[in-house]
Structure 1
Amino acid sequence: MRTIARHGALAAAGLLCLSALTACANEASSTASSGKGDGKGTKVKIMVGGLDKVIYLPAMLTQRLGYFDSEGLDVELLSEPAGVQAETALVSGQVQGAVGFYDHTLDLQTKGKIVESVVQFSHAPGEVEIVSNKASQKITSAKDFKGKKLGVTGLGSSTDFLTKYLAVKNGVKVSDFTPVAVGAGPTFIAALEKGAIDGGMTTDPTVATILDKKAGKVLLDMRTPEGSQEALGGPYPSSSLYMQTDWVNGHKDTVQKLVNAFVKTLNWMSTHSASEIADKMPADYKQGNGILYAKAIGSTLPMFTKDGVMPENGPETVERVLKAFNPNIKNAKVDLAKTYTSEFVEKAKG
């Protein structure tokens, strides 16, 4: 969901700007440290890289099922259109947790920020490479990315990461195509229909809407473990709850409650149909078409774990993918053991 040198400058600027928001950051930190919210329980703020995206569905579903409340938590879910923005909110101290792709933990480590996934929602990216009808004859595989404009949710996002990897894997240099930040949902669809992009990487429900409108075609489908294996060579742990390690170590009781709630949700999802899950979600997520929304959930369900456990060899796959195109990671030693922890998931399972 990343241009490398260009992103480095943008990310640095973004972090400086957000770091200046000391009032917001200090408020978030003090609220969580005190363990008090507004009387409902321990207050925790979590930034999600798109609350209405199916790949991050466990965040809102956990709240709708009442599992945060049952754990004595008052969780405030916030939303940004791209995972990289959720990452920035986390490292700036505005929130205590981020729901986004696990690969950000590796990227951040090379920048001196130690964060870790505390519960892994998925073992596949849940992403789909879509091409416009007009470009479908010219783009039949990732080998055809050269010279094309390809949509990503944001520069430096995991869709940006995966697009670059697919290009490099198929002999196309990252400088040979143009990544375009178009977000998701209506903005992605509009860019595809107007020709602002030739194709792009996105998730459900955007994928379902594009196919329903016959506005584009699927080029690569990574919504299943099999699709991840074919495109990326192994399981690709993606959506997760990740947090700054120092905060985790200082608030283990709160983190355990969060993980307990999410593991309950993942287990609930594994025993209920897409329609039943859709019925639990906010009505506006369906955008007036409940059947299409349930279909979108059904197409993406295979990406989710049932217990929040990091898939075996998943971190290694992510590292290999990032090293293929990201010089920051390629030339750095990443300590994978510091990018995730199984401590809380194991206790939640027990």
Structure 2
Amino acid sequence: MPEFQSSRRRTLGRLSGLAATAALPLQTRARPAGEAEEPLRIAVGARSTLYHLPLVVAQELGYFDDENLAVRIIDHAAGAQAVQALAVNGADVCCGAYEHVVRGQLQGQDWRSLVLLARAPQIALMAPGHLRLATEPARIRPLRIGVTAPGSSTHYLASLWLRNAGLAPEAAQFVAVGNGTAAVEALRQGRVHALCHADPVLTLLEQRVRVAVLADTRSLKGTAQLYGGPMPGGCLFAAQSFARQRPRQAQALANSMVRALRWLQTASPADLAQVVPKPYLLGNRSAYLAAFEKVRETMSPDGVMPADGPATALRAVQRMQPEAVAQVRVLLEKTYSDTWALKARAKLERV
């Protein structure tokens, strides 16, 4: 799994801060004074997608450096693997869908979102128009659906579409197709009947294949139609103990990300093209920039969770895992906190 470090990152020897984290118990176990901080390990799935753009911006523009924060970004093939890395202590923080935090409680995980990156999942399900899946979802059995990986957000969204269409998830075979142009070719070559993915892959697909959009969460309207309310998308989440033990890093991370989110609110296509690493453009700069414009409105402006977002996410999980939710009470108040994002916003407003 590749690891990425900012080219602008300076050698660090900063001491841990003892700043309070209001949303957590007052008792902390911060590092003793004089002990150097360990680099912050952030697990991501498919770093080149627009899903992780705020993280890329923060790194490429040196925002982590400005916070004296040493960061190692560990890239996995898909979000499910990034979540697993956090679960087995292979990472300190995960950049992934908020729904993983909610589902994590059902599996005994005690995770909390530190800062929200997107107000929508930013993924979509598409199929060639001639298959007529939009009007006849049951006409192909078994239906092969390409996803980034089993257990990922793309898998989850495709399963939700099946349920909405009156079909059980077992009616489909989910095929891991990876990322980039390989995912597009999987659909073009007929290895899968439908593809659930993120941009810029989706926009590239729309330019190469006549497709029907079966479910689309790349806009706030499309997300509300599918989920019945605001559905939080990507976020940075970690174990509850992370912010207690490493409070300075938690706040520095939030400061960097909220700054990146603010930059994205006004960035021009030319600005973005200068910041994003060339390989992420998939050889099609115009498609990448067009994809960004599609999802721009879903980017969080300030890292704060929408008021009804957690409840919407819980309803979606209840639909997909009714038995598990019936056995375990999900405590939404433990799945996120706006403490760090609000402090980051206040810091930016003072500048």
* TM-score tier (shorter): 0.7 to 0.9
Aligned residue in 2 for 1:122:
118
- Name the CA shift for 1:276/1:152 in 2 (closer, same or farther; >3 Å): same
**Residues 161-198 of structure 1: CA distance to partner in whole angstroms, max 9, x if unpaired?**
12112221231112222222222222321221121211
Whether 1:97 aligns to 2:96 is no
Aligned residue in 1 for 2:333:
337
Aligned residue in 2 for 1:263:
258
User: Higher helix share goes to which structure?
Assistant: 1
Whether 1:154 aligns to 2:149 is yes
- The answer as to whether partners of 2:106 and 2:328 remain within 8 angstroms in 1 is yes
Whether 1:226 aligns to 2:251 is no
1:258 and 1:141 map into 2 onto residues whose CA distance is 46
1:187 and 1:35 map into 2 onto residues whose CA distance is 48
**TM-score after normalising by structure 2:** 0.84
Taking only the aligned residue pairs, the percentage that are identical comes to 29
- Name the CA shift for 1:129/1:272 in 2 (closer, same or farther; >3 Å): same
- The Cα RMSD (Å) is 2.2
- Name the CA shift for 1:141/1:315 in 2 (closer, same or farther; >3 Å): farther
1:322 positional shift:
1.1
**What amino acid does structure 2 have at the position aligned with 1:244?**
A
- Name the CA shift for 1:255/1:144 in 2 (closer, same or farther; >3 Å): farther
**What amino acid does structure 1 have at the position aligned with 2:50?**
V
1:133 positional shift:
4.4
Aligned residue in 1 for 2:27:
none
**TM-score after normalising by structure 1:** 0.84
Please give the secondary structure, in 2, of the residue aligned with 1:73: coil
- The answer as to whether partners of 1:165 and 1:322 remain within 8 angstroms in 2 is no
Deviates more, 1:339-348 or 1:215-224: 215-224
Aligned residue in 2 for 1:312:
307
Aligned residue in 1 for 2:9:
none
Given the alignment, which residue of 70, 76, 85 partners 1:80? Answer: 76
1:70 positional shift:
0.1
**What amino acid does structure 1 have at the position aligned with 2:116?**
Q
Please give the secondary structure, in 2, of the residue aligned with 1:175: helix
> 1:168-187 counterparts in 2 under 5 A?
168-187=163-182
1:144 and 1:161 map into 2 onto residues whose CA distance is 21
- The answer as to whether partners of 2:147 and 2:155 remain within 8 angstroms in 1 is yes
- Name the CA shift for 1:143/1:58 in 2 (closer, same or farther; >3 Å): farther
- Name the CA shift for 1:105/1:161 in 2 (closer, same or farther; >3 Å): same
2:70 and 2:242 map into 1 onto residues whose CA distance is 17
- The answer as to whether partners of 2:118 and 2:235 remain within 8 angstroms in 1 is yes
- The answer as to whether partners of 2:127 and 2:133 remain within 8 angstroms in 1 is no
> 1:170-319 counterparts in 2 under 5 A?
170-214=165-209, 216-319=211-314
> 1:53-72 counterparts in 2 under 5 A?
53-72=49-68
Whether 1:328 aligns to 2:327 is no
Please give the secondary structure, in 1, of the residue aligned with 2:213: strand
2:258 and 2:141 map into 1 onto residues whose CA distance is 42
1:105 positional shift:
0.8
**What amino acid does structure 2 have at the position aligned with 1:61?**
V
**Residues 292-321 of structure 1: CA distance to partner in whole angstroms, max 9, x if unpaired?**
211111112121110000011111111111
**Residues 101-120 of structure 1: CA distance to partner in whole angstroms, max 9, x if unpaired?**
01111111111110111000
- Name the CA shift for 1:203/1:144 in 2 (closer, same or farther; >3 Å): farther
Ranges in structure 2 where 5+ consecutive residues have no aligned partner: 1-15, 17-29, 347-351
Ranges in structure 1 where 5+ consecutive residues have no aligned partner: 1-31
**What amino acid does structure 1 have at the position aligned with 2:74?**
L
> 1:19-58 counterparts in 2 under 5 A?
43-58=39-54
